[in-house]
C-alpha cells in the first residue's frame, strides 16, 4: 500500500474556530461518497479524533479492539496493529508516523488524519464548519490506443465505493466519467498524438460535497465510453480502466467479469463491456452456463466467499469466446439483462418462497405440429420465428421454475406434436389440476400495428389468477399493458380449474420480435408467469399494482 508523508499529504485545515476541546462535538464526517452527520469528534489542536463506528464500513475496513490498541485490515488484506501509546505504525513493511490513540472513559478515540495517512487517503479538515472529509486521491492518468479504441487508466490512492458514472455530451462532442469519493492531486495528463477521434483529456473537481472527480475526453466526433475493468495494485491503489470508441460501427468487446453481489437470496455478476449479440445462457438444475462471443481484456474478479447463493464460478477462455460456469448452492432462477453503460448483468435469484402444499399445474404450450401458430415476417437476414417453437421453449422454462418452487407440473405437449384443443382440456380436467396456463404469443393483421401484453380468462374463479400473472408480466417484461380480457376461448372456457391464456407480446412487432429472439427475455416471461401462479396460491408476497 502506498502511504504519503504528512508533509506532502494534501491536508487542508481551516484554523478559524479551532479549539483543543476535551468534549466531543457533533460534526460531519464525509467518508468517500458517504456523509455521516452528528458524529462526535474531539477537536484537538493536533488533529480531530473520533470513535470507531459505522463510518468505517464506508472504507470496507475490518477492525478489532483490544486493551492495548486496535487491529485493522484494509480491503486489499493489508493489516496493522495501532498500539495505544505508539507514534509509529508498521504497515506492509513501512513505518508510518501517527499521533497516539486517545482514551476517554475506556473507549479509544482515533486520530482521523493519522488514520488517513495509514490508508493512503486524503484528509480535508475544516474546523470552523466542524467537517472532515476522507477521500481517495487521483494519482495518475494513462492513455493508449488499442484496436478497440482508446484505453484510459485512472489510478486512485484508495478503492472507490462505486463504479464511475459514464456518459457522453454533445456540441462539442465529449465523453466523461464521474468518480465519487475522489479528489484531484497534481496529475500530469498524457499528450495525445494522432488520437482521432480524441482531441484532448481534461480533469476537474466536479463537486466538493459529495467529492466527485470528473474525467473528460474531448472528441472530434460522437464517441462511446464504458468501464472496461478495475484492479487493486500491490501498493493498495485502485486502477479503473475506461474504453472510448467511435460511435460509428464500434466493435464488440468485454473487459472483465466481476462479482458484484453474492448474498443468500440474490447474486449479480457483471460482464463489463459492449456485447450486443452472441450471448447465451443455459440453466440445468443448479448449474448455469453463460457463453460470450469475445475474450476478456482483463483478469476476472470472481472471489467467492461466505454462504452466498453462488458456490463457485469457473471461466474458460479456450477456443472461441468465453464460457462462464456458475454452480449454485440452492435452486434459483438465472437470466441476463443489459445494464446500461456497465454492460451485462447475470442475475441469479433464489426461489425465496416455496409451495406451502404440493399442487399440480398443467402448462399448455400453444399450437404444435401441423399448427405453427403465428410467425414473424419474412427476413433475408434472420430466420422466421414460429410461435409453436417459442411457446414450447417458454413452457419448458416455466416447468423448471415451478418444479424448483415445489409444484408438480404436467405439460400438454413436450415436442412438436399437434394436440387438439379438446385433448388439452381433457388432460387438465382428468388429473384435477389446481391451475391451467396456456402459453401463446400474439400477432396482428398488420405487422408492427400492435404490441404489448394481454392475459385472457373466462370464469370468475380464473380472474384473480389472470390479474396476478398480468401484473408480474408487466413488472418483469416492461411492455405495454393491453389489459386482462374475458373471452370465450376454448381452453379457458372448458377447464374446471382456474385457467388463463397468456399472450406476453406480439411476434410480428419488430421490437418484440427481437426481444423474443433472446433467451433472457423468454426466461423472464416464464419467471413472470411462475411468480403470478405463486402469488395466486399464496406462496409469494403480493406484488402491488403500479399502473399500466
Say if residue 338 is in the same domain as residue 366. Answer: no
Scanning the structure block, which residue is given the C-alpha cell 500530469?
Answer: 188
Could you tell me if residue 14 is inside a domain? no
CA distance 465 to 392: 21
CATH of the domain at 326: 2.60.40.3500
Of the three residues 90, 115, 134, the one that is the final residue of a domain is 134
What's 120's domain CATH number? Answer: 3.30.457.10
Calculate what percentage of the chain has a pLDDT beyond 70: 94
User: What order do you get walking across the sheet with 332-338 strand by strand?
Assistant: 253-262, 266-274, 343-350, 332-338
Band of pLDDT at residue 21, cut at 50, 70 and 90: low
pLDDT of 238 > 90? The answer is yes
Per-residue DSSP letter, 198 = E
If DSSP states are collapsed to H, E and C, what string results for 141-196? EEEEECCCCEEEEEEECCCCCCCCEEEEECCCCEEEEEEECEEECCCCCCCCCCCC
Indicate whether 59 pLDDT > 60: yes
| Residues 408, 378 within the same domain | yes
Q: Is the dihedral of CA 38, 44, 48, 53 positive or negative?
A: negative
Q: Are residues 455 and 445 in the same domain?
A: yes
**541 vs 363 pLDDT, higher one:** 363
What is the average pLDDT across 91-111?
A: 86
| DSSP assigned state of 414 | S
**19 Cα distance to chain centroid:** 46
Is the domain of 155 the same as that of 262?
Answer: no
β-pairing verdict for 94-97 and 88-91: antiparallel
SS3 298: coil
The lowest-confidence range among 5-19, 38-52, 136-150, 241-255 is 5-19
535 φψ region: left (φ > 0), alpha (ψ -120 to 50), beta (else): alpha
- Cβ atoms of residues 443 and 506 within 8 Å: yes
Q: Among 246, 272, 306, where does a domain finish?
A: 246
pLDDT exceeds cutoff 50 at 547: no
Same domain for 395 and 530, yes or no, is yes
How much is the pLDDT for 541?
Answer: 59
Same domain, 115 and 151: no
**Pure H helices in 8-158:** 112-119
Q: What is the pLDDT of residues 388-443, one digit of tens each?
A: 999 999 999 999 999 988 899 999 999 999 999 999 999 999 999 999 999 999 99
**Residue 303 reports pLDDT greater than 50:** yes
| Mean predicted confidence (pLDDT) in 103-117 | 87
Q: What CATH code is carried by the domain that includes residue 423?
A: 3.40.630.40
298 and 262, same structural domain? yes
The band of 264, judged by pLDDT with boundaries at 50, 70 and 90, is confident
Note whether residue 274 is domain-resident.
Answer: yes
**Between 336 and 153, residue with greater pLDDT:** 153
Instruction: Kindly report which listed range (336-350, 419-433, 508-522) carries the lowest average pLDDT score.
Output: 336-350
pLDDT band for position 13 (cuts 50, 70, 90): very low
CA angle 364, 548, 363 (to 5 degrees): 10
Convert the pLDDT of each residue in 70-88 to its tens digit: 998 877 777 889 998 899 9
Q: What angle do CA 505, 510, 514 make, to 5 degrees?
A: 75
Range of the domain at 264: 253-350
Tally of domains in the chain: 4
Could you tell me the CA-to-CA distances from 110 to 48, 118, 158, 303, 521 in Å, in that order?
8, 12, 19, 32, 52
Q: For 247, which DSSP code?
A: S
Q: Smallest Cα–Cα separation from 97: which of 152, 47, 28?
A: 47
Q: Report yes or no on 11 lying in a domain.
A: no
Helices (DSSP H) in 21-119: which residue ranges?
112-119
**pLDDT band at 14; cut points 50, 70, 90:** very low
- Does the predicted model carry a pTM greater than 0.75? no
Same-domain pairing of 324 and 420: no
For residue 161, the tally of other CB atoms under 10 A from its CB is: 15
- In angstroms, the first-to-last Cα distance of the chain is 53
**How far apart, in whole angstroms, are the C-alpha atoms of residue 39 and residue 53?**
9
Q: Determine the average pLDDT of the residues in 230-251.
A: 90
**Domain shared by 146 and 227, yes or no:** yes
545 part of a folded domain: no
- 178 and 236 both lie in a single domain: yes
Tell me what the mean pLDDT of segment 301-322 comes to. Answer: 87
What pLDDT score was predicted for residue 352? 61
36-45 pLDDT, tens per residue?
998 999 998 8
Question: Is there a single domain that holds both residue 178 and residue 227?
Answer: yes
- Confirm whether 411 is domain-assigned: yes
User: Is 488 among the domain residues?
Assistant: yes
For residue 271, is it within any domain?
yes
Are 63 and 163 contained in the same domain?
Answer: no
The x, y and z cell numbers of residue 56, run together, are 468505517
Cα-based distances in Å from 373 to 32, 33, 370, 404: 57, 54, 9, 29
CB 394 within 8 A of CB 522: yes
Report d(CA 529, CA 455) in Å as an integer.
11
458 in a structural domain = yes
> At 11, is the pLDDT very low, low, confident or very high (cuts 50, 70, 90)?
very low
Q: Are 545 and 489 in contact (CB under 8 A)?
A: no
Residue ending a domain, choose from 315, 350, 385: 350
Amino acid at each position: 500500500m502506498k502511504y504519503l508523508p504528512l508533509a506532502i499529504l494534501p491536508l487542508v485545515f481551516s484554523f478559524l474556530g479551532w479549539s483543543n476541546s476535551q468534549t466531543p462535538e457533533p460534526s460531519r464526517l464525509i467518508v468517500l461518497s458517504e456523509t455521516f452527520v452528528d458524529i462526535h469528534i474531539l477537536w484537538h489542536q493536533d488533529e480531530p479524533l473520533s470513535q470507531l463506528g459505522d463510518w468505517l464500513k464506508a472504507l470496507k475496513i475490518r477492525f478489532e479492539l483490544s486493551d492495548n490498541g486496535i487491529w485493522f485490515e484494509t480491503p486489499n488484506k493489508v493489516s496493522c496493529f495501532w498500539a495505544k501509546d505508539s507514534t509509529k505504525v508498521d504497515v506492509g513493511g513501512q513505518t508510518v508516523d501517527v499521533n497516539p490513540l486517545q482514551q476517554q472513559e475506556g473507549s479509544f478515540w482515533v486520530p482521523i488524519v493519522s488514520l488517513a495517512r495509514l490508508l493512503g487517503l486524503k484528509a480535508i479538515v475544516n474546523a470552523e464548519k466542524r467537517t472532515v472529509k476522507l477521500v481517495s486521491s487521483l494519482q495518475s492518468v494513462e492513455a493508449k490506443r488499442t484496436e478497440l479504441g482508446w484505453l484510459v487508466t485512472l489510478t486512485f490512492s484508495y478503492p472507490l465505493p462505486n463504479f464511475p458514472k459514464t456518459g457522453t455530451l454533445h456540441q462539442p462532442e465529449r465523453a466523461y466519467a464521474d468518480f465519487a469519493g475522489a479528489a484531484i492531486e497534481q496529475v500530469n495528463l498524457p499528450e495525445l498524438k494522432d488520437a482521432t477521434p480524441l482531441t484532448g483529456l481534461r480533469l476537474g473537481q466536479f463537486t466538493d460535497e459529495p467529492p466527485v472527480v470528473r474525467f473528460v475526453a474531448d472528441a472530434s466526433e460522437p464517441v462511446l465510453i464504458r468501464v472496461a475493468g478495475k484492479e487493486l495494485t500491490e501498493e493498495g491503489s485502485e486502477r479503473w480502466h475506461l474504453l472510448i470508441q467511435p460511435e460509428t460501427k464500434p466493435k464488440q468487446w468485454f473487459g472483465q467479469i466481476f462479482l458484484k453481489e453474492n448474498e443468500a437470496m440474490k447474486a449479480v455478476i457483471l460482464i463489463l463491456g459492449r456485447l450486443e449479440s452472441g450471448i447465451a445462457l443455459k440453466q440445468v438444475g443448479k448449474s448455469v452456463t453463460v457463453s460470450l462471443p469475445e475474450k476478456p481484456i482483463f483478469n476476472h474478479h470472481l472471489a467467492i466467499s461466505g454462504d452466498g447463493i453462488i458456490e463457485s464460478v469457473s471461466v474458460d477462455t479456450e477456443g472461441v469466446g468465453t464460457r462462464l460456469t456458475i454452480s449454485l448452492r440452492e435452486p434459483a432462477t438465472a437470466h441476463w439483462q443489459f445494464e446500461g453503460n456497465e454492460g451485462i448483468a447475470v442475475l441469479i435469484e433464489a426461489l425465496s418462497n416455496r409451495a406451502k402444499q404440493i399442487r399440480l399445474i398443467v402448462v399448455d404450450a400453444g399450437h404444435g405440429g401441423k399448427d405453427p401458430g403465428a410467425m414473424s415476417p419474412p427476413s433475408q437476414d434472420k430466420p422466421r420465428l414460429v410461435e409453436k417453437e417459442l411457446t414450447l421453449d417458454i413452457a419448458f422454462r416455466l416447468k423448471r421454475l415451478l418444479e424448483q418452487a415445489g409444484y408438480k407440473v404436467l405439460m400438454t405437449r413436450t415436442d412438436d406434436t399437434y394436440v387438439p384443443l379438446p385433448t388439452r382440456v381433457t388432460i387438465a380436467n382428468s388429473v384435477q389440476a389446481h391451475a391451467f396456463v396456456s402459453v401463446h404469443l400474439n400477432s396482428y393483421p398488420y405487422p408492427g400495428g400492435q404490441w404489448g401484453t394481454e392475459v385472457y380468462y373466462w370464469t370468475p374463479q380464473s380472474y384473480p389468477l389472470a390479474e396476478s400473472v398480468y401484473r408480474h408480466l408487466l413488472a418483469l417484461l416492461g411492455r405495454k399493458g393491453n389489459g386482462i380480457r374475458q373471452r370465450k376461448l376454448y381452453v379457458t372456457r372448458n377447464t374446471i380449474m382456474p385457467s388463463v391464456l397468456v399472450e406476453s407480446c406480439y411476434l410480428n412487432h419488430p421490437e418484440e420480435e427481437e426481444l423474443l429472439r433472446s433467451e433472457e427475455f423468454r426466461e423472464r416471461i416464464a419467471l413472470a408467469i411462475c411468480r403470478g401462479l405463486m402469488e395466486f396460491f399464496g406462496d409469494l408476497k403480493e406484488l402491488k399494482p403500479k399502473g399500466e
